[in-house]
Amino acid sequence: MKSRITVELASRVKSLPPYLFATIDRMKQDAKAKGVDLIDLSIGDPDIPTPTHIVDAMKTAVGKPEHHRYPSYEGMFSFREAVAAWYQRRFQVSLDAGNEVLSLIGSKEGIGHIPLAFVEPGDVVLVPSPGYPVYPVGTLFAGGESYFMPLVEQNSFLPDLGAIPQDVLKRARLMYINYPNNPTSACAPKAFYEEVIELAGKHNIIVCHDAAYSEIYFDNDKPVSFLELDGAKDVGIEMHSLSKTYNMTGWRIGFAVGHKDVIAGLGKIKSNLDSGVFQAIQEASITALETDDRVLAGIRNTYQERRDVLYEGLKGLGMHVIKPKATFYLWTKVPQGFDSASFVTHLLEKAGVLGTPGNGFGAPGEGYIRFALTVPVARMKEAVERIGKAL
């Protein structure tokens, strides 16, 4: 007689909500199985290929035998030097490649791991809501408690730092911020970062700024870096990803920069849990970081054309749409008579258009839907026509 084990999930896994984008992916697959001509505006995965010169650099790098062994945990020094040089060019921020730069297997990995380095059970992590689902999940895995900072339209989708209770601030160990923001597409002014730095310094809170969308901006209105502000490097770090800037989502490479002790703590977690980024990818990423901005401007122009088509189209349908200055998302109020989930289902069933429900990013996102600018203009126009008929 064969014996069977009883498989019991850990409580930290049992308490997880369904991962938003896994749920969206199931909806997508079900629609395709039914033969729906789906226009997918849900997940922020660029449809534009990685620039050819980066792909060519990867082809060369992958043929080098020295890259076929374990990489260094913190990243090749040449890659970290390229990151530091990029920061100097783009933001006029000076970084020590030796101890202020760390490679990541995509910024998602760093965001999820950083609470493990600094958050004790019972500590509080300040989390923007609506926001990237990994912020509260990483907090949960570390045994911390998320305090959700609402991002609402009347406050330009910036958290009201003055509304955080003092007892919460006393227990807070880490704060996530994210601008340009996913999902709302909001940008933050320097005055907000100054307020963050003051609060963090006063209460000894580590700041983790998720800046994955800093290079997807419109109308030549460049977002600032958190690290440009005086005192920022004294209180925290900034995380970037090559995924969105260079259309490299599948390559899984990013970096964290800033406070050397925070970088070291995150690096200690990584050295025990992963084996670093494949060096051929790092070498190709050096080429990416040195890309002429005219190439990136072409990518931004493509998204801006799509933004204008979808924004004007939805506005013409009478929908309340926030025009983004950055990111490739449109944050849109759902029409009366719907909530976020029911409107997503309605558009999928009646129009074959898939968006992401705003409440999937947190309770303050209820009443909104997020559309991604990740299909060509012709399909974007068709999506507007279909939504109009469905309304």
Residue 272 shares a structural domain with residue 180: yes
Domain around 301: 11-49+294-390
Please count the other Cβ atoms lying within 10 Å of the Cβ belonging to residue 335.
14
**Last residue of one domain, picked from the residues 233, 257, 289:** 289
Residue 42 shares a structural domain with residue 67: no
Over residues 136-179, the pLDDT tens digits come to: 999 999 999 999 999 999 999 999 999 999 999 999 999 999 99
Average pLDDT over residues 211-233: 97
Average pLDDT over residues 296-306: 97
Q: How confident is the model at residue 1 (pLDDT cuts 50, 70, 90)?
A: low
What percentage of the chain reaches a pLDDT higher than 90? Answer: 91
Per-chain mean pLDDT for the chain: 96
Read off φ and ψ for residue 19, nearest 5 degrees.
-70, 125
Residue spans of alpha helices (H) in 274-375: 279-289, 293-316, 340-351
Residue 44 shares a structural domain with residue 130: no
Q: The domain spanning residue 38 has which CATH number? A: 3.90.1150.10
Average pLDDT over residues 200-222: 97
Q: How many domains does the chain have?
A: 2
Residue 233 has pLDDT above 70, yes or no: yes
Could you tell me if residue 180 is inside a domain? yes
Please count the other Cβ atoms lying within 10 Å of the Cβ belonging to residue 378.
9
Over residues 322-361, the pLDDT tens digits come to: 999 999 999 999 999 999 999 999 999 999 999 999 999 9
**Last residue of one domain, picked from the residues 268, 289, 310:** 289
What percentage of the chain reaches a pLDDT higher than 70? Answer: 100
In this predicted structure, what is the pLDDT of residue 31? 83
Residue 266 shares a structural domain with residue 352: no
Could you tell me if residue 3 is inside a domain? no
Beta partners for residue 322, in sequence order: 331
Q: The domain spanning residue 216 has which CATH number? A: 3.40.640.10
Closest CA relative to residue 179, chosen from 159, 198, 165, 161 = 159
Residue 18 has pLDDT above 80, yes or no: no
